[in-house]
Chains A and B, each alone.
Chain A
Amino acid sequence: MTPTIALLLVLTFIVSIIGLLALVWSIATDQFGQGQSAARTIFAPGEIGRPEDPARGPDEPAFRPRDDEEVEAVAERRRADQSARVPVLTLLGSAVAWLVVGSAYGLISSLKMHMPELLADTATLTFGRIRPMHLNAVAYGWTSMAGLGVAVWLIPRLFKTPLVGAGFATAGAWLWNLGMALGLIAIGAGFSDGEEWLEIPWQIDLLFVVGGGLCAVPLLLTVRNRQVRHLYVTSWYLMAALIWFPVLFLIANLPYVFPGASGATVNWWFAHNVLGLWVTPIGVGIAYYMIPKILGRPVISYQLSLLGFWSLALFYSQVGVHHLIGGPVPTWLVTLSIVHSVMMVVPVVTVAINHHGTMFGHFGMLRVSPTLRFVWIGSLMYTASSLQGSMEALRSVNLITHFTHYTVGHAHLGLYGFLAFILFGAIYFIMPRLTAWEWPSRRLISLHFWLAAGGGLLYVVALTIGGWLQGLALIDPETPFMESVRLTLPYLEARSLGGTLMTLSHLVFAGHFFTMLLRSGRPATAPTLFRAATRESSA
C-alpha cells in the first residue's frame, strides 16, 4: 500500500502543478476576458430580449426580423438548420422508437418484481433478460441517439455555418441502430457479457464505436468552417462528450483484459462515466443553449459556465467506484471516488446558478413554452439528482442505500427527470424547424408532460421511500431477510403504476412525433421564425 500512496501523492502534486499552469495560461490568453459578450454568440442580431419558441400560443408573436441585417441572420440560420435535416431526423426518429421499446421492457420488468409468475415460462422474457434489455434500449437507444441527434442539430447553429459531412452522421445512426437491434436480440437470446451497462456482446459493441465515431465526423469538419470567434459553452460540452464516449466504451468493452475484482472497478468506472461524461455533458450542454435561447436572455455568468465545465470533467471522471463502497476493492480507491463525488457539488452548483439564475424573473414563460417547461424541469432535476448522488456516496448514507431500490430511484431521477426531460424539450423545439411543420396538438404536448411528470414523480418517490426502508431492514441483523423483501412490495406496485403513466406518456409523445413527420395537421409554409406570426394571421 505504501508505494501506492507515494505514487498518489506524486500524481496529486503533478496534477496541481498542471492545473496551476492551465490557470496561468487561461489568464494570460484572456480566456476569461470575453465574459458576457461570449454568452451572446448564440443570438442573431436583435434577438436578445425577445423570446423564441415555435410552440407558443398564437396570441404571442415570436421573433420577427425588423431590418435587413436581422432578415439575413434568420435566413442564414434556416440554412444551417436545414443542412442537418437528414441525420437529425434519422437519429431522433430512431430514438423515439427505442424509447417506446425500452419503456415496454421497463414496464414488464417492474411488474415482474411483484408478480414473479408473469410471463415466467419463456427464457427470453425472464426478468434477468428483460431488465438489461430495458437498460440498454433506453440508455443506448433512446438517450444516446436523441442526445446525438440534438448535438448534430446544434453544431451548425453554434458554429453559424451549414453542417459539413451530414452523410457520415446518417451512416453512423444506421450502424448504431443495427448495433442496438443486434444487441437486444443477443441479450434476449442469452448472450450477455454479464456486466451491468456492458451486457451487449463486445463483437456487436464495435458497431457502436464506429457509429458513434461517424457521428463525430461532421463536428470536426464543421468546426473548421465556423463563423463565430468564440465557442459557446454548449459546444465545449458536446465536443468533450463526443471524445469521451468512444474512448470509454472501447476501454470498458476490451474482452479478456480485466479479470476478477479489477473487472468490477472497470465496470463501475465505465458505468458511472456513461452518466458523467456522456449523457450529463449532452444534457447540460443542451440546457445551456435552450434556456437562454427561448428566454432571449444570455446566461447570467459566462465565466462560471467554463469553471463548471472543467470541474465536471475533472471530478465526474473519477466517481465510479462509489458503487463498490464496502466491497472487495482497495480502500484508497473507494475514498478517492467518494471525495470526487462530493466535489461534484462544485460543477453542479455553478450550472444551477446559471440555469436557474437565468430563469429568475421569467418563470411565467413556463406557462407558455413547452420546450422551456421540459428543459427547465430537467435542469432542476439535474441539480436535485446530482446533490442526492453526492449524498449517496457518503459511507454513512451508502451503508443504507447500497443494494436497494433507492439507487434505482436515484438513477431514474437522473436519467429520466433530468436527461429525458431535456431531450423531450429539445425535440419540441427542433422538429418544427426541421420539418417546417407545426406540432399538431398543444393538448397532446400537455398530456405528455403531465403523464411523464406525474409518473416519474410517483416512480422516484415510491422507490426512494421503499428503498430506504429496505436498506434499514438489510443492515439490521435482527430483521429476517425476507422482511426486507415483503416490505418493499407496496412500493414496487406504486413504481409499476408510475411506470405505466410514463409509458403512456411515451406512447402519446411517439404518436404525436410520427404524426408530425407525416405532416398531418395545419401547414406551416413560412420560414422558421415567422411561424407564429403566420399562425396569428391565419387564426
Chain B
Amino acid sequence: MKRTVAIMAGAALILLFATLMLVVMPYVQMASEPVPKDLEPYTEAELRGRQLYISEGCMYCHSQQPRDPGYSAADSRRGWGRAAVPGDYAYDQPHLMGTMRTGPDLLNIGARQPSQQWHLIHLYNPRAVSPDSTMPPYRYLFEVVGNPLDGETVVEIPAPYGPDEGVVVTTQAVEDLVAYLKALDRTYPADALPREQTGNEGEGEP
C-alpha cells in the first residue's frame, strides 16, 4: 500500500509542478501586462457575434495570431498585421487564437475588409467573392423574402450565387457576426513585444 501511495503522490506532485510552470506563472505574468489604451471592449452586438463565431466553429480554420516578422515575415507582408501581444486579448474570453490556417488569419480582418456588404456576401457564399474558396456557405444565417420590408438589409448576391427567386436579407445573428468581424482590428501600436527581441535564442537544446 505504501508503494502505491508513493507512486500516486509522486505523479500528483509532478503534475502540480507542471501546473505551476505552465498555468500559474504565465497567468501571473500575463495578468500584469498592460491593456493597450486603444483597445476597446466589445459591444453587446459584437459579443453576440463572437458567440456565433464560436458556435459555428470559425476558429477551426482561422487563426487570430499574426506571427512576429522576425520569425515569419509572411504574415505582415500579407497585410495580416503586426505581431500580436498578450494585451490584444484582454477582452477575449475564451481566447480564439486557433491552430489552423485553412483560411487566413482574422485578427485584423476588420481593418483589412471594412465593407459590411462584402462580409455578408462572403458569408452567404464564399465562392461569390473568392472563386476557389473552400469555406462552407452560411446561407442558413440569412432569409430569402419576396419583398424586403423597410429597415431590412438587402444583400446584393451576384448571379449565379443568389436564390432563384426573391432577395436575400440579413438576420440579427449574421449582422452581429459581421459586427464582430469588423471589430477585429488590432492595428493600433503596441509596446510590449513578448518574444525574441534579442534574436540570439537557439532551439532550446544542444
- Residues of A participating in the B interface, judged by any CB pair closer than 8 Å: 4, 7, 11, 15, 22, 112-114, 116-117, 120-123, 126-129, 131-132, 190-196, 223-224, 231, 236, 239-240, 243-244, 247-248, 251, 256, 258-267, 269, 273, 277, 310, 313-314, 317-318, 320-321, 323-324, 326-331, 333-339, 342, 394-396, 399, 402-405, 407, 474-477, 481-482, 484-486, 489
Chain B residues with CB under 8 A of A191: 55
Pairwise interchain contact A192-B55, C-beta atoms closer than 8 A: yes
Pick from B8, B22, B135 the residue with the most CB of A within 10 Å.
Answer: B22
With A and B bound together, what is the CA distance between A317 and B134 in angstroms?
Answer: 36
Contact indicator per residue, chain B 49-64, by CB within 8 Å of chain A (1) or not (0)? 0000011111111010
Pairwise interchain contact B21-A394, C-beta atoms closer than 8 A: no
Range of interface residues on B (Cβ < 8 Å): 35 or more
Top 6 nearest A-B pairs by Cβ distance? A128-B57, A317-B18, A190-B55, A477-B77, A260-B89, A240-B11
Chain A residues with CB under 8 A of B127: 116
Contact of A117 among B57, B72, B137, B140 (CB under 8 A): B137
Which B135-154 residues have a C-beta within 8 angstroms of A?
A: 135-140
Which B71-114 residues have a C-beta within 8 angstroms of A?
A: 71-74, 77-78, 83-86, 88-97, 99-104
Pairwise interchain contact B137-A190, C-beta atoms closer than 8 A: no
Query: In the complex where A259-B90, A327-B65, A481-B78 touch, is A251 in contact with B23 (Cβ < 8 A)?
Result: yes
Chain B residues with CB under 8 A of A310: 10
Contact of B7 among A239, A396, A484, A489 (CB under 8 A): A239
Pairwise interchain contact B93-A317, C-beta atoms closer than 8 A: no
Contact of B8 among A127, A240, A262, A314 (CB under 8 A): A240
Which B10-61 residues have a C-beta within 8 angstroms of A?
A: 10-12, 14-15, 17-23, 25-27, 29-31, 33, 54-61
Chain B residues with CB under 8 A of A258: 23, 27
Pairwise interchain contact B15-A317, C-beta atoms closer than 8 A: yes
Chain B residues with CB under 8 A of A128: 55-58, 60-61, 136
Query: In the complex where A15-B17, A126-B57 touch, is A120 in contact with B137 (Cβ < 8 A)?
Result: yes
Chain B residues with CB under 8 A of A117: 136-137
Interface of B is mostly: loop
Query: In the complex where A260-B86, A339-B204, A402-B99 touch, is A314 in contact with B14 (Cβ < 8 A)?
Result: yes
Pairwise interchain contact A131-B60, C-beta atoms closer than 8 A: yes
Pick from A251, A256, A262, A475 the residue with the most CB of B within 10 Å.
Answer: A262
Chain B residues with CB under 8 A of A264: 89, 95, 97
Pick from A128, A129, A195, A314 the residue with the most CB of B within 10 Å.
Answer: A128
Query: In the complex where A196-B99, A485-B134 touch, is A260 in contact with B73 (Cβ < 8 A)?
Result: no
